[in-house]
Homo-oligomer: A and B are copies of this chain.
């Protein structure tokens, strides 16, 4: 079980945008370079974020991406699920019919609990919270 790079890059990107403040428009190339991630890969991620209107895209010269929502109102879960769809730690979750053992399967039982507790964590922190935490670390 591994957190994917797409998820990591996406969250880092959104945080970077938010840090620039004032809904400034930043070209993707700058975001990619600042985070040290491949630009084309990040492009695809940001397209998903755009669809979820977490960021807003601007074409043309002086174009780029700006925030689409107030970082105080965007949870990590929203960002992550915008990138890679709803969480399913195991294939049978969300599709009970895929396995005959489903109703009494202890593995499914514990994985569902695990997933729930994972999502709770991601829901608890907003982008603003994460930036706040980072500032704290820098200050101390």
Give A84's nearest chain B residue, CB to CB: B1
B2, B90, B104: the one contacting A134 at CB < 8 Å is B104
Residues in B whose Cβ lies below 8 Å from that of A111: 3
Number of this chain's copies in the assembly equals 2
Residue of B nearest to A12 (CB): B107
- Chain A 1-27 interface 0/1 with B at a Cβ cutoff of 8 Å (1 = within): 111100110011001000000000000
Majority DSSP secondary structure for residues of A touching B: helix
A2 touches B118 (CB 8 A): no
Expressed in whole angstroms, the minimum distance between the Cβ of A46 and any Cβ of chain B is 16
Give 8 A-B pairs besides A76-B110, A106-B131 with Cβ atoms closer than 8 angstroms.
A3-B89, A12-B107, A104-B137, A109-B133, A110-B121, A110-B122, A114-B122, A117-B117
